[in-house]
C-alpha cells in the first residue's frame, strides 16, 4: 500500500491514515526515491497471486465509530483513490467508464460503511 490521492484536492494521505484494517505486522520500506516522491510504501495482508482467479474475500471485520465513518465519507466525496504497489510496481486498473467506476466504488463503500 502506498497512499491515497485525489484529483480534487492536492493533499495526499497515508493509506493507513484512514481507518482500514492494519496488517498484523506493519513493515515499511523506505529508500531515497520513496522519500523524495513522498511515498511511504507499507505492507498489507492482501494476498494477490499472478494469473490465479480469486473471488472477493473478507480481510477483516472492524466496527467503525462515527468519526471513522466520516473520514471514509469525506474521502469518497473528495474522490480519493488508493495507490497499490506490488513488487515495487504500481497496480493498474482497467477503467470501463470513469463515471461508472466512481459511482460503483462510492456505492460499494457506502454499503460497507452502512452495514
Instruction: Kindly report, residue by residue over 32-72, the tens digit of the pLDDT.
Output: 777 666 677 777 888 877 788 877 778 888 898 999 999 99
- Mean pLDDT in residue range 71-99: 75
| pLDDT for the residue 83 | 80
Cell readout for 16 is 493507513
Q: What is the pTM of this model?
A: 0.64
Helix (H, G, I), strand (E, B) or coil at 4: strand
Q: Alpha helix (H) ranges present in 1-115? A: 32-37, 66-77, 98-114
| pLDDT for the residue 36 | 66
| pLDDT for the residue 48 | 76
CA distance 47 to 60: 13
Amino acid at each position: 500500500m502506498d497512499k491515497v490521492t485525489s484529483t480534487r484536492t492536492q493533499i495526499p494521505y497515508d493509506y493507513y491514515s484512514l481507518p482500514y484494517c492494519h496488517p498484523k505486522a506493519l513493515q515499511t520500506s523506505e529508500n531515497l526515491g520513496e522519500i523524495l516522491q513522498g511515498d511511504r510504501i507499507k505492507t498489507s495482508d492482501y494476498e494477490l497471486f499472478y494469473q490465479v482467479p480469486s473471488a472477493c474475500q473478507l480481510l477483516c471485520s472492524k466496527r467503525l465509530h462515527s468519526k471513522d465513518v466520516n473520514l471514509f465519507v469525506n474521502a469518497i466525496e473528495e474522490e480519493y483513490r488508493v495507490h497499490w504497489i506490488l513488487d515495487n510496481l504500481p497496480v493498474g486498473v482497467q477503467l470501463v467508464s470513469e463515471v461508472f467506476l466512481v459511482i460503483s466504488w462510492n456505492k460499494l463503500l457506502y454499503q460497507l460503511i452502512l452495514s
